[in-house]
Amino acid sequence: MKLIILITSLIFLSNCSSNSVVKLGKKCTKIASDNTYEKSFVWIVDKKNIDNFNSKINKENCEINGEKS
């Protein structure tokens, strides 16, 4: 079962590689005005927005938001 999930995940991630980049690792957004934020270990980023992504969504925001390592 784990093998099927792994293969399915790899197929899914490889399909988005033409116009997108897959970023791995814990990253967070800044806290919004309603005290919410987004956190994920897998981010799919459009290649056009890759420069803005690193400045807006990064590991430092997780620490600022109070996330533990």
Between 17 and 13, the more confident residue is 13
Instruction: Give the residue among 32, 16, 34, 23 at the shortest CA–CA distance from 59.
Output: 23
DSSP letters spanning 5-23 = HHHHHHHHHHHTTTTEEEE
Within a 10 A sphere around the Cβ of 34, how many other Cβ atoms?
6
- Specify the DSSP class assigned to residue 34: T
pLDDT, tens only, 34-69 = 999 999 988 888 888 888 998 899 999 999 988 776
Look up the pTM and report it.
0.66
Task: Name the residue ranges covered by the structural domains of the chain.
Answer: 2-64
pLDDT of residue 26: 93
